[in-house]
Amino acid sequence: MPRTIEEKWILNQDDGNQTEADGTASVWSDIWDYQVPTGVGHVLLGEHTLSAYLEDGSAEVGNGTCRVRVEVRDSSEQDRKVIFGPALYVTLTSFTDQDQKARLNLASPVAITERMHIVFVVYDDGAIDASDSYFQLETLRIRKTLT
């Protein structure tokens, strides 16, 4: 009989269920769009963390005006909920120091079921180069076992 497993999961730019696109200057742009696969769900908690490194052109974004938000969207992408931000990019740059990592600070858990989207959206005065950028979003992944 299958069991349900909850496990800590780090979503990043290398996940195969994700698309990436370069950002457009001075427009809110979807940089990474993760669609939850069939048979899997995620839960985001207030204490979960988010980190990012963003490049526009050939250097790290550093002008202090770049903003980031994370959205959850339904499978049709018609309904959306901002779960983080908009926040200045400079608040997301720590990957190692747990005290400096950005926290989601959600008032209650957010469930993201199969076929829904978690989208990383950026606004900068330069075009973001997604292929030279990366991120980590901590989640709780829920899946069923084979037996």
Question: Per residue in 17-71, pLDDT tens?
Answer: 999 999 999 999 999 999 999 999 999 999 999 999 999 877 899 778 899 999 9
Chain mean pLDDT for the chain: 94
For residue 139, give the H/E element and its range: strand 134-144
Query: Hey, what are 44's tokens?
Result: 């985001």
- For tokens 């903003």, the residue is 67
Query: Hey, what are 2's tokens?
Result: 């299958």
- The residue count of the chain comes to 147
**What pLDDT, on a 0 to 100 scale, did the predictor assign at position 60?**
92
**What pLDDT, on a 0 to 100 scale, did the predictor assign at position 40?**
95
Query: Hey, what are 143's tokens?
Result: 């899946």
Residues 6+ apart with CB under 8 A from 43: 6, 109, 110, 111, 112, 139, 140, 142
Domains of the chain: 4-144 (2.60.120.1170)
**What pLDDT, on a 0 to 100 scale, did the predictor assign at position 1?**
76
